[in-house]
Structure 1
Amino acid sequence: MKLTRLLSAAALGLVLATPAFADDINFAVIGPMTGQLATIGDQFKQGAQAAADAINAAGGVGGRQIKLSIEDDQCDPKQAVSVANRVIANGVMFVDGHACSGSSIPASAVYAESGALMMSPASSNPVLTDDAAAKGWPTIMRLYTRDDAQGNFIGPWIAEKYKRKNVVVLHDKSAYGQGIADAVKATMNKGGLTEVLYEGINAGEKDYAALVTKLKDLKADVVYFGGYHPEAGLILRQSAEQNLKFQMIMPDSIATPEFWQVAGPAGEGTMFVFPSDPQSKPEAKEAIEKIKAGGFVPEGFTLFSYAVIQAFAQGIERAGSDDPAKVAEALKNGEPIKTVVGEVTFDEKGDLKNASYDINQWHDGKYAPIQQ
């Protein structure tokens, strides 16, 4: 009996001496898993799961296995805050998300106040990290590009290429859509081209006939639209029905097959800006093959979500800790993080350094970069 008690005590001591670092580590993946933008949520989920599987198969993070929880915010600000609070209540301190800037910005306050590390693979509005830096929130980051950087890239190009054309700038009134439209408008104007119309539309509508009539009256040659694929596809399709042709240019939100499903042939020639093709990176080859083998094409934000999980894993190992603040500090130390989208480094705000872009064009249901 005495020996048994001694052994039990020794075993208990061993358990108590085992650090929490030996447990599995939980990451949350948060995006629009349902609703009109569910394709983006699916990209997040597929990318994150593929990364977790690859890291776990290679031994995990310091011997720990990654476990993912998938959460749906429907790209709704109130839902995003509710989900953020639930995730924190469940003890998850690393968040791969959110997608829409309008969700990421309010949710970021929840993570910052609890000390969790949030890294968005898609939200591009500068407010996300600018406000976090101003408020002293070190654990709000993004592994994606900013609207102002994208505006600096495409705005001058539009001003030069279409300098004698009637250019319209539209947005969907969201933090993402209006943010990128404003950034493009500012740099386009600086380049000497003034739009003939700047206007917000109501997202979710099914009838844009009044807008199409307005575009016809203005003899629009080019429409830059800050928004998402459902509205873009409808505007193009309804314009084609009224025999109105113009060059539509968009940000990264239409890097999904669903754009073509909505627009159909009316989407032919539509251009959009996207970070330099992540699928062309040699670092992505193995991951792409495995994701495709599972029946999913890693378009859009898939590889950026994958890269967020990689960044979390390398940050934890680099910091020698799963304290989110220490991990964020380790990720910002100037040493590159190796990911499927290439080596990345972060600035003091938690933004990517040295982002580069392609102009892509849709043709016959597919898109590819064009020569600029």
Structure 2
Amino acid sequence: MRAIPLKSLASLAVLGLLATGCGQGLLGGGDSGDQAAKKDGPILLGMLIPQSGSEAAIGPYMSNAAQLAVDEINAKGGVLGRQLELKTADDACDAQSAAAGANKLVTEEVDLSVGGYCSGATLPTLPIFGKANIPMIIPAANSQELVDQKLKHVFLINGTGSQQAMAAEKWITKQGAKSVALMHDNTSYSKDIAVRTQTLLEVPGGAEPVITEAVTPKESDYSANITNVLDKKPDFVYWTGYFQEGGLIARQLRQAGYKGSIMVGDGSVSPKLMEIAGAEAAEGVYATMTQTPDTLEGAEGWIAAYKKKYNADPGPYSNQAYDAVRLAAEAVTKAGGTDGAKVIAALEAIDGFPMFSGPLKFTPEHTLASGGFQILVVKGDKFALQDALK
């Protein structure tokens, strides 16, 4: 079947959102079922996000957008006659902190999890939520390792690492690159994308992956890594880690005289990358990324609602976090309550639910049927759409 163009999917999603009052027409009212008769308190949604550490800038985008969805749903009568309540916990983009945060949310008796940004921090939470029979709708974390666990309670609404690698290979090839340096930080998410991209590039006649360089996160100087990379004379460098290191690597590559193309993965799509790299080094840096608020056609009303509530622009993964809450509410509605097994079955049966990424249908692996990756580019002080990779 021919793929639907990305812009068409985004437009369909926005139309669907408008037609259902941002999803509320699907959620308010209906038969409360046995579960609501037993429990008429709020439905608790747990959200693990980085509130401290190097990725803390992302946390507010996700929690603010999730709370916006909660407030909109509650204003329309809630779900099955019950209000939603969002509980957040800090994972600090760290496995140990994430496990502690997940246990805290389990203790608070959340009904569903709608968080997960860093894949390495999200992985150890899977068995914690699974043991408690809590379905997980993961809005951002997307390492293929999450999928490879084959856990029935885990659903990803961001494109996977394999889908991101395919988008990277397609753009690198489209740019006519001859020699490619891949750089990662040895975390599950970053290494997965780098290795998968390398494999895709290893075909006769294509761009040659000349080095795959691992760096140590949270360093201030990557000159030794830069030297290793530049010794291979690449004309394209793809960094698959987070913005803290990505900004430094972009700056130090340019300071070392590198003139070729630089691209970063979705974990580096943040205004912080430009701050760290500096305007000159960041200008023209590409990124593989799923939809962001300012690249979505027809999302102006939603962006205005976010800005009105928080007096700030929505950032990366805010639209995915918003959709995670809406999807959770839809699944609870279809399940007739918050029983974990019934909610999981409802999520598996979703077919065409309108989201910003397009009408939703999960694959048997509980991933998006289409990853929706696009290419962004730094222009001035922001990432702008470069290519929708139709």
TM-score normalised over the length of structure 2: 0.85
8 Å CA contact retained: 1:151, 1:180: yes
Distance across 2 between alignment mates of 1:299 and 1:40: 8
Residue 65 of structure 1 and its aligned partner are, at CA, apart by: 1.1
- DSSP-derived class of the 1:370 partner: strand
Among 258, 262, 269, which residue is 1:244 paired with? 258
Cα separation, 1, equivalents of 2:131 and 2:342: 15
SS of match in other structure, 2:167:
helix
Aligned counterpart for 1:205 among listed residues 197, 205, 219: 219
Amino acid in structure 1 at the alignment position of 2:108: N
Q: In the alignment, which residue of structure 2 is the partner of 1:60?
A: 78
Q: Which runs of 5+ in 2 are unaligned?
A: 1-34
Q: 1:273 aligns with which of 288, 295, 301?
A: 288
Q: Deviations over 1:161-218 (max 9, x none)?
A: 3343x31111000011101111211112236332111110001000112222333333
Cα deviation code 1:334-364 (max 9, x no counterpart):
4222234432121222211122221110011
Q: Indicate if the aligned counterparts of 1:156 and 1:187 stay in contact, CA closer than 8 A.
A: no
Deviation of 1:88 after TM superposition, in Å, equals 0.9
Aligned mates of 2:277, 2:295 — CA distance in 1: 26
Matched AA of 1:188? L
1:342-361 paired onto structure 2 within 5 Å: 342-361=358-377
2:43–2:111 CA contact under 8 A, matched in 1: no
1:94 equivalent in alignment to 2:112: yes
| 8 Å Cα contact 1:73/1:80 also seen in 2 | yes
Aligned to 1:29: 47
Q: 1:301 aligns with which of 294, 314, 317?
A: 317
CA distance in 2, matches of 1:140, 1:215: 37
| Deviation per residue, 1:263-303 (Å, 9 max, x gap) | 11211110011124554546744321111222221221011
What is aligned with 2:89?
71
1:115 shift after superposition = 0.6
- Tell me which residue corresponds to 1:225: 239
Corresponding position: 1:46 with 2:46: no
Structure 2: which amino acid aligns with 1:292?
K
Q: Secondary structure at the match of 2:88?
A: strand
Residue 235 (structure 1) aligned with residue 249 (structure 2)? yes
Which residue pairs with 2:29 in the alignment?
Answer: none
Change (3 A) 1:292 1:149: same
Letter in 2 for 1:218: K
Pairing of 1:128-207 with structure 2 (within 5 A): 128-131=146-149, 133=150, 137-164=151-178, 166-190=179-203, 192-207=206-221
Distance in 2 between residues matched to 1:348 and 1:20, nearest whole Å: 32
CA shift digits 1:310-353 (9 cap, x unpaired): 00001111111211221121121142222344321212222111
Aligned CA distance change for structure 1 residues 296 and 65 (closer, same or farther; 3 Å): same
Distance 1:282 1:66 in 2: 29
C-alpha contact (below 8 Å) 2:157/2:368 kept by paired residues: yes
* Larger relative contact order, structure 1 or 2 (CA cutoff 8 Å, min sep 6): 2
Q: Look up the equivalent residue of 1:288 and give its one-letter code.
A: I
Query: CA–CA distance in 1 between the matches of 2:181 and 2:299?
Result: 37
| 8 Å Cα contact 2:47/2:87 also seen in 1 | yes
TM-score by length of 1: 0.89
Q: Percent identity, aligned pairs only?
A: 28
Query: Aligned pair in 2 of structure 1 residues 40, 277: CA closer, same or farther (>3 Å)?
Result: closer
User: Is the 8 Å Cα contact of residues 249 and 272 (structure 1) preserved in structure 2?
Assistant: yes
